[in-house]
Amino acid sequence: MSQLNLDQGQIDRARESARRIAHRVFDDMSQYTTTTVERATLRLMGVDGVDDNQIPLPNRLVAHLQEQKLLAHGAASVVAGAMAEHALTAQQVAEAVAAGKLVLARPKHDKAARQSAEAIAAKMCEHIAAQRAVRSQQIDKVGEARTPWLYLIVATGNIFEDIVQARAAAEQGADIVAVIRSTGQSLLDYVPYGATTEGFGGTYATQENFRLMRAALDEVGAKIGRYIRLTNYCSGLCMPEIAAMGAMERLDMMLNDSMYGIIFRDINMKRTFIDQFFSRMVNAYAGIIINTGEDNYLTTADAFDAAHTVLASQLINEQFAYISGLKPDQMGLGHAFEINPDLENGFLWEVAHAQLVRQVFPEACLKYMPPTKHMTGNIFRGHIQDALFNVVSTLTGQNIHLLGMMTEAIHTPFIQDRFLAIQNAKYVFGTMRDLHDEVEFKAGGRIESRAQQVLAETVGILADIEKIGLPAAIGRGTFADISRTMDGGKGLDGVIAKSPDYYNPFPDLMLAGAN
Amino acid sequence: MSADMSKHLTLHTSETVAENRVEPNFVKPYGDTMNDGRVQLSFTLPVALDENAKEAARQLALEMGFDEPAVVHAEDMGQGFSFYVLYGQCKHRVDLSRIKVAKPEFETLDKDAINALIAEKMGRKMVVVGACIETDAHTVGIDAIMNMKGYNGHKGLESYHEVRAINMGAQVDSEELVARAIEEQADVILVSQVVTQKNIHLDNLTRLSDLLEAEGIRDRVILVVGGPRISHELAKELGYDAGFGTKSYAEDVASFAINEWIKRHTA
Ligand code: B12
């Protein structure tokens, strides 16, 4: 489709503001690590499993390091030192510590300990790189769908039931399957272990569940001749650990926002900013596409009035993503079709917003969310709302297309809800495949003017945020009309100031190798 | 959808009044001719599509009380599932004159009238404490009722100068809510429950009312629950004073609250 006439100077200015905003946060936070960053590091060094009380060994080991006042040096070299000294694997060190048979201390030979930590880390990086290669090979072999990719959720609470639903969804046409997480997992300060069958409104994210679902999707993908992408939630108090598990088990996408946890889960700001950096770095290295959560703003704020906050947040998310080594095609920046259906010309404004985002991020793998807030018990009208959403998605060239369910206001999807949603999307995508090539925006028309207006407001709000800094802006309720403070929220106790000799082998290895 | 509807019907018919006999007023679904009973229905069967499965769908509709059911659409969904759309004629009818749906009894006033009534009858501000309790994080509903901005052009309780509105937000433990209600000497407690999966809302709401009983303040507060799947009937069953569903606004709750306060204080 012809492009909207937008002022490139404004786009550049907005992006520059966002860059400075993100870098300032990153610089302020780089003096800290967190308990979950260290646990993720241990997982990546091979520590897994739980003790008799179902407490994960990475938690036991990190708690021990905290007691011994060693965590500020970084878990990696301390554990590598113990491995060398006692001729144990990382897992055996964790088991011995959990059994009370081993008390850790600073390594006798710090340099040697670092070197061996680096060697272990390099091996894990090889494994993750190999998983990345498997993904490419499979896509070459079985092929992949055209965009917009159809994204469906499963949420039974039981991984084995999820697998049944996911296979059916793939056979019906889903390109991406997301396993919704159990309510409340984001606030657990550990990752549950093993296959799980008793989630609530979703299924626990565990490494074993990742593995089971991956195998099922590979199998059905081979059968139907399409690589099926697997998605989970890299958010909450254990972002870095989930990233590590997903990288090991070849997930393809992760919900991984730089601010969602702060705003919607009341997780501490420092904690989130530190954790998002590490988790995104792992995702970048693993070739995982992240999804950001700006669409959520529009469930609490008004989609028309707050359109510029979505674009501003996407620009900030983009800059945080660059810092972690993510490439534009790994950035599933989120936005949504959430304008009140009663608003006259609302559809025009939806086109304007979606096309604006497309043009500001031409290479990004945009994630477009369906109507949710204004869905009602009238499922017949809902099906039409979803159809209109499908039109905007194909017309403006979105990449990741979350399927809207006509029963959105009632329950988590039944199998036929998904079935009908896929038919709806396929119909619209097929019958309008090349429409975007055939129509042009009227210069100076309503759609173009609206996009220009939102862009101008975005430049303004980013300039304001830059003046006061991101934490203060969040404090003022800039995003989603929700306000948070630097020292409020959950998980602050897991934020630890690094000592000058802090060491972690992964940033050097992963940031260099993300290309 | 259809399961939901039938649940409502049984709920309502059980609420019949045996006394005063009135003329029966039977009602059944309407398609294009009075009493044709035409109904549409759709569902999934966990079997692959074949002629037997299609016949099973038809027979199920018979069992559900449809005359002449017709499977108008049947489609295989893969993985051993199939989808059906049916039309049929509902055999059953219901006597409207015997139905009495529980409703909170009050007249909805406008904001000025509510403020005036509070000022006149209470002689002080009405204290309202609200929260979305336990695991539920859906605050938009309670915000719509309580916050300044309100919803759909209906201002929230914060904008009422005779109301002191305290909105505690999302995922508030019942303990916390009760403690705050005691501290603020609340006249009214508003709770919101949106997630109803596995009937979690019933557990949460029972927990809160038990706690209020245990603290000995249940009788001192007007206890109100709201949410898209909440009815007044359900609220009463759970021991609440009122329940509000979709499309309720601040003036509805406030009118009920002042009405209830007056009733309690003049009795
Ligand atoms: C926005 C939203 C969210 C946002 C919430 C943001 C926030 N701060 O509130 C986010 C993204 C965080 C979210 C998360 C989840 N959500 Co949600 N969400 C919705 C959505 C899209 C809209 C709800 C809404 O805001 N409605 C607008 C308000 C104004 O309407 P309302 O709540 O009905 O309120 C009105 C009345 O009911 C009444 N009222 C409400 N409360 C009260 C209280 C009192 C005292 C009174 C008098 C009146 C009253 O007055 C209000 C104004 O008229 C619905 C789908 C839908 N369209 O309904 C799903 C929905 C409610 N979510 C659902 C679920 C399952 C979840 C999740 C578990 C996972 C998921 N599937 O997304 C998580 C869990 C979060 C948690 N721990 O609770 C399900 C619930 C299914 C069920 N029946 O149990 C729904 C129906 C979607 C679905 N089909 O899966 N969600």
Best of B197, B203, B204, B230 to substitute, by most chain A Cβ atoms within 10 angstroms, is B197
Could you tell me the end-to-end alpha-carbon distance of chain B, in angstroms, rounded to an integer? 43
Structure confidence at residue B20 (pLDDT) = 56
CB of A297 less than 8 A from some CB of B: no
Structure confidence at residue B19 (pLDDT) = 52
Collapsing DSSP states into helix, strand and coil, what is residue A182? coil
Measured torsion, CA atoms of residues B46, B52, B57, B59, in degrees rounded to the nearest 10 = -130
- CA angle A369-A371-A374, nearest 5°? 150
Structure confidence at residue B8 (pLDDT) = 44
CA A98, CA A109: separation in Å to the nearest integer? Answer: 24
Plot region of A481 (φ>0 → left; ψ -120 to 50 → alpha; else → beta): left
CA A505, CA A515: separation in Å to the nearest integer? Answer: 18
Structure confidence at residue B101 (pLDDT) = 86
Residues 6+ apart with CB under 8 A from A100: none
Does residue A14 have a pLDDT over 60?
yes
CA A299, CA B140: separation in Å to the nearest integer? Answer: 8
Residue bearing tokens 């930590």: A117
Distance from A454 to chain B by nearest Cα, in Å?
23
Distance from B60 to chain A by nearest Cα, in Å?
17
Mean pLDDT of A149-177: 92
Report percent pLDDT > 70 for chain B.
92
Give residue A469's identity as a one-letter amino acid code: G
DSSP structural state of residue B179: H
Mean pLDDT of B229-236: 95
Structure confidence at residue B78 (pLDDT) = 83
Q: Do B81 and A407 touch (CB under 8 A)?
A: no
SS (H, E, C) A300-338: HCCCCCCHHHHHHHHHHHHHHHHHCCCCHHHEECEEECC
Does residue A468 have a pLDDT over 70?
yes
Does residue A183 have a pLDDT over 90?
no
Q: For the segment A396-412, what is each residue's pLDDT rounded down to a tens digit?
A: 999 999 999 999 999 88
CA A13, CA A49: separation in Å to the nearest integer? Answer: 49
Mean pLDDT of A35-41: 98
SS (H, E, C) A31-89: CEEEHHHHHHHHHHCCCCCECCCCCEHHHHHHHHHHHCCCHHHCHHHHHHHHHHHHCCC
Mean pLDDT of A296-304: 89
- CA angle B252-B254-B256, nearest 5°? 70
Structure confidence at residue B13 (pLDDT) = 44
Side-chain-facing half-sphere of B188: CA atoms under 13 Å:
30
* Residue whose C-alpha is closest to residue A259's, from A283, A289, A227, A290: A290
Q: For the segment A88-124, what is each residue's pLDDT rounded down to a tens digit?
A: 999 999 999 999 999 999 999 999 999 999 999 999 9
Structure confidence at residue B10 (pLDDT) = 43
Ligand 1 neighbour B138 (Cβ under 6 A): yes
- Give strand pairing partners of B242: B224
Does residue A447 have a pLDDT over 80?
yes
Q: Residue A222 CB: number of other CB atoms within 10 A?
A: 14
Q: Whose CA is nearest to atom 51 of ligand 1?
A: B141
Report the separation in Å between the CA atom of A299 and the middle of ligand 1, taken as the mean of its atom positions: 9
Structure confidence at residue A513 (pLDDT) = 60
Q: For the segment B50-67, what is each residue's pLDDT rounded down to a tens digit?
A: 999 999 999 999 999 999
Structure confidence at residue A413 (pLDDT) = 85
Structure confidence at residue A1 (pLDDT) = 55
Which residue from B79, B83, B198 is facing A200, i.e. has the nearest CB? B198
- Give strand pairing partners of A368: A335, A401
Report percent pLDDT > 70 for chain A.
99
Does residue B262 have a pLDDT over 90?
yes
B201 against B4, higher pLDDT: B201
The helix (H) or strand (E) run that includes residue A413 is: none
Indicate the range of A475-479, B15-19, B34-38 predicted with least confidence: B15-19
Confidence of residue B12 (pLDDT cuts 50, 70, 90): very low
Residues 6+ apart with CB under 8 A from B246: A376, A377, B228
Ligand 1 neighbour B167 (Cβ under 6 A): no
* Residue whose C-alpha is closest to residue A44's, from A100, A133, A101, A123: A123
Confidence of residue B11 (pLDDT cuts 50, 70, 90): very low
Structure confidence at residue A182 (pLDDT) = 86
Q: For the segment A343-388, what is each residue's pLDDT rounded down to a tens digit?
A: 999 999 999 999 999 999 999 999 999 999 999 999 999 999 999 9
Q: How far is CA A99 from CA A61, A90, A104, in A?
A: 11, 14, 13
Structure confidence at residue B2 (pLDDT) = 42
Mean pLDDT of A418-427: 95
If you count residue pairs, one on A and one on B, with CB atoms under 8 Å apart, how many are there?
50
Q: For the segment A81-97, what is each residue's pLDDT rounded down to a tens digit?
A: 999 999 999 999 999 99
Confidence of residue B208 (pLDDT cuts 50, 70, 90): very high
Mean pLDDT of A443-464: 98
Structure confidence at residue A200 (pLDDT) = 78
Query: How many H-runs (helices) and E-runs (strands) does chain B carry?
Result: 8, 10
Q: Residue A102 CB: number of other CB atoms within 10 A?
A: 18
Tell whether the torsion through CA atoms of B53, B55, B59 and B64 is positive or negative.
Answer: positive
Q: Do B43 and A416 touch (CB under 8 A)?
A: yes
pTM: 0.90
Q: B residues 179-238 near A, CB within 8 Å?
A: 195, 197-198, 200, 228
Partners of residue A200 in chain B, C-beta under 8 Å: 135, 197-198, 200
Structure confidence at residue B104 (pLDDT) = 84
Burial degree of A440 (CB within 10 A; 0-12, 13-18, 19+): exposed
* Residue whose C-alpha is closest to residue A36's, from A190, A183, A187: A190
Best of A163, A299, A340, A416 to substitute, by most chain B Cβ atoms within 10 angstroms, is A416
Q: Whose CA is nearest to atom 62 of ligand 1?
A: B195
Q: For the segment A250-286, what is each residue's pLDDT rounded down to a tens digit?
A: 999 999 999 999 998 889 999 999 999 999 999 999 9
Structure confidence at residue B7 (pLDDT) = 44
CA A335, CA A402: separation in Å to the nearest integer? Answer: 11
Residues 6+ apart with CB under 8 A from A427: none
Q: Do B140 and A164 touch (CB under 8 A)?
A: no
Confidence of residue B21 (pLDDT cuts 50, 70, 90): low
Residue bearing tokens 């060239």: A397
Does residue B184 have a pLDDT over 50?
yes
Residue A177 dihedral angles phi and psi, to the nearest 5°: -115, 125
Confidence of residue A456 (pLDDT cuts 50, 70, 90): very high
Ligand 1 neighbour A409 (Cβ under 6 A): yes
